[in-house]
Structure 1
């Protein structure tokens, strides 16, 4: 195969082909939280979305209009399947009593023989909601029709910011929720006293007993995290922005940094441990709030966090955030320690099988496309099956590390719908790279149907795969090689 002249001008992605951060570029996603289930990582993220002024110009992100949670998943940490946007709060959301959905946390538990999935989030800074579903991506519904935790919950009225939940599923089947943050007054910046932990009931939608303060959290700001690693419980959080240089030197961490504490008990007391991730400004030159999640996958630990590198590439510096993943470092004691944020991200853990049906919304990168809900449940609840849409000349999607085997193939089936016309260029390594063949979309209809074509050139071995679109008014559901 040779590099070919392109019939259309190739659109530029918001990240380099060699970069794996941010995880997706088709929309934003902040405050990431990872749930590992059946060899996949499900990432739940605050649904940052542009706000506009009366002139139609993008305004600063105030978080006030956010009432959705974005969901993606991956089994290789590089190619991510878009599961859509949970309509979590607001008049059309599952928790219609709430206004906002910030900083989600997720957990699952087998209840009466069935795995149930629970999504916790903050109704701005005034309480925690819980939703439940039968799959990791929904549809999610509100089982209690009210806050799980509110200002009326004992010990919580005085919590400045009643938000940012994290959930621990312990080895004995018990569960705990961690939340809270904020600085009550300047004189309390060094020890705000606004972190809380509570035991969750067996049904995961109530709490048992009164929430307990987590004591002596140095310069707490926000962003609860919790992990059990080798028998030790690590509570993590973001430090506040009132730290003096003297305090930073004394404690060994900076303002706006992710910090850990440790305990042998899930409800504490916790003692000071290590900083693990500096503010995104340190790595990328753009700062803001710092929100993280530590998770284990395939016997290795990672840290997910948000940055502003997507909005920077878009030329809009208004505080809209996207999710990154990097490897979590450990010190000689086996404790989480200072890790680095990068644009390159993590290595792909396994190849994509070219010969199984792959959803078109499973992508490592893209340019000029959008995704939208497909099917009754997804349209109603926001999350579920998704398709690639808003296709135009030169737009594309890519899948990294696709394995075609030693024998390879020259037969491809795509599932497409739309108006007759248009083409899909099948290329490897880069969007204007070697062309294996072109799919002519003449004769497609408004209903999704499979179209099988013989490519001009056989693809052998492992490659990054690109579908480059020519034309518009068509949508893509899936693909597989034969």
Structure 2
């Protein structure tokens, strides 16, 4: 308990110093197993709920929905209790959930411990919820694996449910979203790895629980925590690729404590896209010190040219906000982009480039701008190029016009510009003028 108290004190210090650290997204509440979906330009997290910081086992008595307009400020919106499902009584194993939307209704799927999966339906993303079946959707005898920790994948209006532990199964859902259109099929993973199988020799526990599927640039990604495989086909087979979390991921104070099998264990989560940016939401215990009282973190996700995901960063600033006192803001870590794409750098990392006139990127909630009057860019440009720094959005107040000179050294160079009207908590928008189209690369920026 002493370690837990010290960790909670550390969280309070970080929040006080930064004015509202975003990781964890909801501190000290036990919000975990996050699945984030965007409905009506609002982020909703469907999650499990660890009961207490003092718990010595997994006590999870209900399921939660929280929402956010910006991935920074979160509000509790809905609670689903087991008593209001087919379970019909208090229950301490309310495990992972996910949601799907079809025909004006929201279908919220939930795990009955590590055995079965049920579903409730609502007219809004936050309910109220009703159990349309009065029994499990996935029963414990359906497949050789355990029917829990499901994920919902949607493509072209069709929905699929993925579930299991060690071995994963997938089945298409009927249009009613509460019945299966086919018998579940096993997903083949070539050369799998996992937190209990780092060298490929553990055939009994080759992966983990909590599978998830997302799609990017024509490729399907099957993930289990921070491990993932890739395929050209939703049903597989998938080729194991990598982990997105490494020892280099962690900022000071976020690398420990962790799970008995190390920092790769227990990272239940989900990938999602919003405003042309990708994210990973996942479990973390570094700030609570208790594996039975987990937090939710969010990190940016960037894809390499070969389709693999780059190593993520784990810190307290998180996403959707920035700290001008911490030095560089990586250009690819924007909150919103239009007409702009990420480019993998040959020196490592990513830069951004506009592919249309007046393309723009937005960086909201930049803290500690007071007293700063210079914006410095690290750029590469074959021709003279111009961007505008504006407040709020692409049509906002002009703060600076930045004219870059052609750089024929083929290396990133730093250029600085006087900037008026910087204020703490400001939203900054970079607007690419025609001269910058398909030419100017911005690697990072900072305010001084």
Deviation at 1:228, TM superposition (A): 1.3
| Alignment-derived partner of residue 417 in structure 2 | none
Q: TM-score, normalised by structure 2?
A: 0.60
What secondary structure does 2:288 align onto? helix
Instruction: Give the drift of 1:210.
Output: 0.9
Separation of aligned partners in 2, 1:279 and 1:203: 44
Superposed, 1:79-478 pairs within 5 Å as 79-87=73-81, 89=82, 92-97=83-88, 99=91, 100-109=93-102, 111=103, 115-153=104-142, 156=143, 158-159=144-145, 161-170=146-155, 172-182=156-166, 194-216=167-189, 218=192, 219-238=206-225, 258-278=226-246, 283-288=254-259, 289-312=266-289, 317=290, 319-348=292-321
Aligned counterparts, 1:14-29, within 5 A: 15-17=14-16, 18=18, 19-25=21-27, 27-29=29-31
The TM-score with structure 1 as length reference comes to: 0.56
- For 1:319 and 1:229, the matched residues in 2 are separated by 33
Q: Deviations over 1:326-365 (max 9, x none)?
A: 101222223323212222101339xxxxxxxxxxxxxxxx
Q: Measured at CA, do residues 310 and 287 of structure 1 come closer, stay the same or move farther in structure 2, by a change above 3 Å?
A: closer
User: How many pairs does the alignment contain?
Assistant: 295
Other structure's SS at 1:16 match = helix
* 1:244-295 alpha-carbon deviations (Å, 9 max, x no partner): xxxxxxxxxxxxxx11112222212222223223599965212222212110
Give the Cα separation in 2 of the matches to 1:324 and 1:284. Answer: 13
Report the counterpart of residue 348 of structure 2 in structure 1. Answer: none
C-alpha distance in 2 between matches for 1:265 and 1:175: 15
Alpha-carbon distance, 1:318 to partner: 5.3
| 8 Å Cα contact 1:22/1:322 also seen in 2 | yes
| Structure 1 residues 145-203: Cα deviation after superposition (integer angstroms, max 9, x where no partner) | 111111232xx1x21x4321111110x21111111004xxxxxxxxxxx2111111111
Higher relative contact order (CA 8 A, sep 6+): 1
* Unmatched tracts of structure 1, length 5 or more: 1-11, 52-57, 183-193, 239-257, 350-399, 403-459, 466-482
* Conserved? CA contact 1:327–1:346, under 8 Å: yes
SS in 2 for 1:209: coil
SS of 2:208 mapped into structure 1:
strand
